[in-house]
Amino acid sequence: MDTNSHVLDHPPEGAAADWTIPQNWDRFTAEEHATWDTLFQRQAKLLPGRASRAYLKGLDALKLSESGIPNFAELSERLMKLTGWQVVAVPGLVPDDVFFDHMANRRFVAGNFIRRPDQLDYIQEPDVFHDVFGHVPMLADPVFADYLAAYGRGGNRALELGALKQLGRLYWYTVEFGLIAEPEGLRIYGAGIVSSSAESHFALEDPSPNRIGFDLKRVMRTDYRIDDFQQNYFVIPSFDELLRATVETDFAPLYEEILGQPDIPIATILPEDQVITHGTQEYALSRA
Ligand code: PHE
Ligand code: FE
């Protein structure tokens, strides 16, 4: 689930005041479970050597390899023991404040539908595969789990300070599309990458995108695209460092500073950037 704007301003019929709905796991058809299995098997093959250690450890600890769409009650029980997080179902995108409140209270909201068999490679709205396979393994990591809960608290603060767009970019470039430098090399941990077969290759192996060392203010000023592969990936040195740079920093003065500065266009490299890969942008150019 992303910090997108929403369609409704009140919970739809059948949803609770906090927008959650029963997962009704029994309602998924054999074909829907098979779609999960197909997606799972494809990604599980790709991720060793590409996904971060924390992600792979979480995938294993949560037993996500069991066949079929995970039952949220069972998944939450395992997750709760590890980091105090739960997974709850929602009908689709929810209002920003609702999204942040759940997160601050260690509840990850997940879409309650799965893509159709003809949408295996791409869907616009996050489904249960993106939300659970992409996001939930990282929530089994104690440091990342603390980061996301703090992000939820920071979200409501950003709403008050008029800096939702700036904070949203931090989510985008870490939680959704983050890379990490591990001793063996760059690895992916962002949910948008680990849940996508094509972007798992692209983010690490393609010469097109820039790969730039993570810098909080830089990230919060950088535009992004939502409809294609990224043209920039930001690389954190460790989850401890990400936590330190965000949780231990008061964002109010940062927002004030960057709200007065221009946004940084997609794909631009700045003189002060710590450039890991200077992308050719050939993929983006071929699509222009
Ligand atoms: N420290 C941030 C603030 O002062 C909150 C935050 C924490 C944001 C972690 C993102 C991640 O608003
Ligand atoms: Fe997401």
pLDDT tens, position by position, for the chain (288 residues)? 444 444 567 898 889 999 999 999 999 999 999 999 999 999 999 999 999 999 999 999 999 999 999 999 999 999 999 999 999 999 888 999 999 999 999 999 999 999 999 999 888 889 999 999 999 999 999 999 999 999 999 999 999 999 999 999 999 999 999 999 999 999 999 999 999 999 999 999 999 999 999 999 999 999 999 989 999 999 999 999 999 999 999 999 999 999 999 999 999 999 999 999 999 999 999 988
The residues lining ligand 1, judged by C-beta closer than 6 Å to any ligand atom, are 147, 150-151, 154, 157, 170, 246-247, 249-251
CA separation, residue 270 to residues 109, 212, 242, 284 (Å): 36, 10, 21, 19
- Are 1 and 76 in contact by the 8 Å Cβ rule? The answer is no
Q: How many CB atoms lie within 10 A of CB 227?
A: 7
**Tokens 């600890």 — which residue?**
61
Question: From ligand 2's centre to the CA of 126, what distance in Å?
Answer: 6
HSE (side-chain half, CA atoms, 13 Å) at 118: 0
Contacts of 218 (CB under 8 A, 6+ apart): 212, 234, 264, 270, 272, 273
pLDDT score, position 288 = 80
| Ligand 1: nearest atom to the Cα of 154 | 5
Question: From ligand 1's centre to the CA of 91, what distance in Å?
Answer: 27
**Tokens 């002060």 — which residue?**
272
pLDDT score, position 3 = 46
**What is the separation, in whole angstroms, between the first and last Cα of the chain?**
28
Tokens of 60: 């294993």
Q: Name the nearest CA neighbour of 233 among 179, 278, 196, 175.
A: 179
pLDDT score, position 2 = 46
Instruction: Determine which residue's CA is closest to atom 5 belonging to ligand 1.
Output: 154
Question: From ligand 2's centre to the CA of 274, what distance in Å?
Answer: 26
**Tokens 């799965």 — which residue?**
114
pLDDT score, position 7 = 57
Question: Closest-lying ligand to the alpha carbon of 155?
Answer: 1
H helices, E strands: number in the chain: 14, 7
Question: Closest-lying ligand to the alpha carbon of 157?
Answer: 1
